[in-house]
Structure 1
Amino acid sequence: MEIKENAALVVVDVQKGFEHASWGRRDNPDAEWNIAALIDAWQGTGRPVVFVRHDSRQEGSPLEPGTEGNAFKEVVEERRGKGPGPELLVTKTVNSAFYGEPDLDAWLSGQGVRQLVIAGIQTNMCNETTARMGGNLGYEVLFALDAMHTFDLEGPFGWRRTAEELTRATAVSLHGGGFARVVTTQDVVEAAGAA
């Protein structure tokens, strides 16, 4: 695996509101540790880091602006502004980080970035949507599957899927569909250090 010198790490919605009990059971208890490892690797090599925050418009949402839940988790907050490379904060009200403020695509293009590594919360929601749009926009997208998590979910017809099943489905859809390459944190960190 080759990690470009200016590859951007996009850290999606690592917010305290996702610790609220209303989300239910999550998978991957190591997600935050792996997110931290990626941020540290990116900041240690001066690569660009994008922090994305979801500002929910839904009243009473655990991610509503002005609430404690809207804030970044400590694993992110204690690292923001610490690297020598370019850093951007994107705020959004929908799933894709490409529909936020400021314009992510314009910023990445201005930095000459064509390769993205995506991590954060939730695997099958904002992470997957951002990865699909990134792929559609022509970016090479690496999806760090163990640096993210999601929750059990109920859909139509009483269908219910565990967080682990949703994670696998996302990985298969993105990787098999050519939107992104699904990778591990260790592989990405090792490749980033070797560049």
Structure 2
Amino acid sequence: MPYRDYETLDLDRVALVPIDVQQGFDDEQWGDRNNPDAERHIGELIEAFREADLPVFHVKHDSTERGSPLRPDRPGNAFKPGAEPKDGEPVITKEVNSAFIGTDFEMRLREAGIRRPIFVGFTTDHCVSTTTRMAENLGFEPFVVGDACVTHDRKLNGTRYAAEQNHRIALAQLSEEFAEIIETATLLAALETRH
């Protein structure tokens, strides 16, 4: 997939949106995952946005499913270290895949004048993808930072599909139609030029 050069990356009216960066995704029930560097990339981006005085909107999944480690009454509901919100940073709490359903996320983005939400987090083919698709349908211009997203192995009718394959296909399906796919290094370099 082509990635834009940082010199042409327009960071006007952007916000970073980490999705479901929660401890419950460390649970073995999810199976094998890809991208072991994702949490480091997410943490770097959060810090860079804070240093640039750009907004960060945190999305958190409060699962209603029995047995889910992401339920609000479970330790896994907590944010992963390095992805915890700071005072004043909004937290959007959702119960479904899209951060726009049953929340005030759209209103918050519009009130803040955000045009280009930049999505990272868990999981590439579920909540990141669903939220990105809806963002584009609502008239936003989303970015997805591919190497700051994660997914897991999936199964269908007894066939296993590897996490990295799912991840890349999910990004390919979003690319151009719903979002621009970029990399952490590109975004960090673009942020650096703002100083």
The equivalent of 2:175 in structure 1 is: 175
User: Which stretches of structure 1, 4 residues or more, deviate above 4 A after TM superposition?
Assistant: none
Q: Does the 8 Å CA contact 1:7/1:113 hold for their aligned counterparts? A: yes
User: Normalized per residue, which structure has more helix?
Assistant: 1
1:100 deviation in Å?
Answer: 4.3
Of 90, 98, 101, 1:88 maps to 90
**1:33 and 1:15 mapped to 2: Cα distance?**
14
1:104 deviation in Å?
Answer: 0.7
Q: Does the 8 Å CA contact 1:171/1:182 hold for their aligned counterparts? A: yes
RMSD, aligned CA: 1.3
Q: Read off the aligned partner of 1:186 and give its amino acid letter.
A: A
Q: Does the 8 Å CA contact 1:6/1:48 hold for their aligned counterparts? A: no
Q: Read off the aligned partner of 1:144 and give its amino acid letter.
A: V
Cα deviation, 1:36-92, whole Å, max 9, x if unaligned, reads 111011101111111111000012211011110111111212xx216xxx6210000
Identical pairs, percent? 40
**2:51 and 2:140 mapped to 1: Cα distance?**
23
**Length-normalised TM-score, structure 1:** 0.91
Q: Does the 8 Å CA contact 1:14/1:120 hold for their aligned counterparts? A: yes
1:11 deviation in Å?
Answer: 0.4
The equivalent of 1:164 in structure 2 is: 164
The equivalent of 2:124 in structure 1 is: 123
**Secondary structure at 1:74's aligned position in 2?**
coil
**1:139 and 1:4 mapped to 2: Cα distance?**
14
The equivalent of 2:3 in structure 1 is: none
**2:189 and 2:93 mapped to 1: Cα distance?**
30
Aligned residues: 187
Pick which of 4-13 and 106-115 moved more: 4-13
**1:108 and 1:55 mapped to 2: Cα distance?**
21
**Secondary structure at 1:39's aligned position in 2?**
helix
**2:33 and 2:153 mapped to 1: Cα distance?**
6
Q: Read off the aligned partner of 1:35 and give its amino acid letter.
A: I
| 1:97 has 2:99 as partner | yes
1:6 deviation in Å?
Answer: 3.2
Unaligned runs of 5+ in 1: none
**2:102 and 2:192 mapped to 1: Cα distance?**
30
Unaligned runs of 5+ in 2: 1-7
| 1:27 has 2:34 as partner | yes
The equivalent of 1:144 in structure 2 is: 145
Q: Does the 8 Å CA contact 1:38/1:189 hold for their aligned counterparts? A: yes
Q: Read off the aligned partner of 2:95 and give its amino acid letter.
A: T
**1:136 and 1:166 mapped to 2: Cα distance?**
23
Q: Does the 8 Å CA contact 1:3/1:192 hold for their aligned counterparts? A: no
1:166 deviation in Å?
Answer: 0.4
**1:185 and 1:106 mapped to 2: Cα distance?**
27
